[in-house]
Amino acid sequence: MAPLLVINVVGLTPRLLAHMPNVAKVGTAAALRPVLPAVTCSMQATLLTGAMPRDHGIVGNGWYFRDLGEVLLWRQHNALIQGDQLWTAIPGLRTANVCWWYAMGAPTDLLVTPRPIYHADGRKDPDCYTRPPSLHDDLETALGPFPLFTYWGPNAGITSSQWIIAAARRILTREHPDLLLVYIPHLDYDLQRHGPDGPEAIAAARAIDTALAPLLEEEAEIVVLSEYGITPASRPIDINRALRTAGLLEVYTQAGMEYLDPWTSRAFAVADHQVAHVYVRDPADLDHTRAVITELTGVDEVLDQAGKAKYGLDHERAG
């Protein structure tokens, strides 16, 4: 039986698919309705579990960890996803994960995930974490070091996607997994830098379509999907500034810089692209907080418990 290859081309939309002939040849396009919030971690957790954020607990790319008193984003451990996942759906299935999130500690046979080296003097070098450990040296010998600084940050570009594609092909042909999930980040970059409707977006779509061609020609059953599409945005909505003006948010200073103080703030927001989770320490402040946010231009909805339930977002981690 041919392996199943699932390729997550984040940011792919019908408009961009028209400029991607290699991807278009995979099969008939279908609409995929994302969850709220339509961000990487929440959508990938839903795709891995078939459940809503209320069940798997991934309410965004990060949230306020009440037991730690900290806002943490882009945590990597698989145990943060609650409930059963695709990796163990079929006993005996040999599985591989190349750069889908929440990879560390996942019950996969093979995995590759971005993981910098943090030195004692504060330097950060590019690298990745693999399972088994021998896979790291195999991929680095064949492909060079994982190009972390083109995976995210100001220099993000196609180099990282090309490395990921090459790694996926190597794993597919040498390790023979039954299920291989691959995350391709390139479309995210220029769409966020330049907007989704300009010539840069079309150029990015054509570039990644060309890069994907060898992987799409492998002997496998192939599914290409996307977590979300990017829509134009023209201005921010400064929720935390409004909460500070209203006397609900506090900051502390170090070296002349201000930092959010979640321990003493009565209310603050963890803003994450499409949504902001607003954490209110005392229920007595809920009405005041809701009134401040509702008045802000650009806010579409302010969800109470019933509103969160409507979108499958009523989890204890949510704001």
Domains and CATH numbers, the chain: 4-225 (3.40.720.10), 239-310 (no CATH)
Can you give the pLDDT at residue 1?
79
- What is the residue whose two structure tokens read 């005392």? 282
The helix (run of H) or strand (run of E) holding residue 268 is: strand 267-272
Mapping DSSP to helix (H, G, I), strand (E, B) and coil, where does residue 159 land?
helix
- What is the residue whose two structure tokens read 């579990």? 49
Can you give the pLDDT at residue 203?
97
Can you give the pLDDT at residue 251?
98
Can you give the pLDDT at residue 143?
98
DSSP state of 207: H
Can you give the pLDDT at residue 153?
86
Contact 108, 180 (CB under 8 A): no
H helices present in 13-132, as ranges: 14-17, 21-24, 40-49, 53-56
Under-50 pLDDT residues of the chain: none
**Can you tell me the distance from the alpha carbon of 112 to that of 175, in angstroms, rounded to the nearest whole number?**
13
pTM: 0.96
**Can you tell me the distance from the alpha carbon of 94 to that of 171, in angstroms, rounded to the nearest whole number?**
12
**Can you tell me the distance from the alpha carbon of 150 to that of 185, in angstroms, rounded to the nearest whole number?**
10
Q: Please name which of 167, 240, 224 lies closest in space to residue 7, comparing C-alpha atoms.
A: 224
Can you give the pLDDT at residue 256?
96
**Can you tell me the distance from the alpha carbon of 9 to that of 16, in angstroms, rounded to the nearest whole number?**
11
Can you give the pLDDT at residue 75?
96
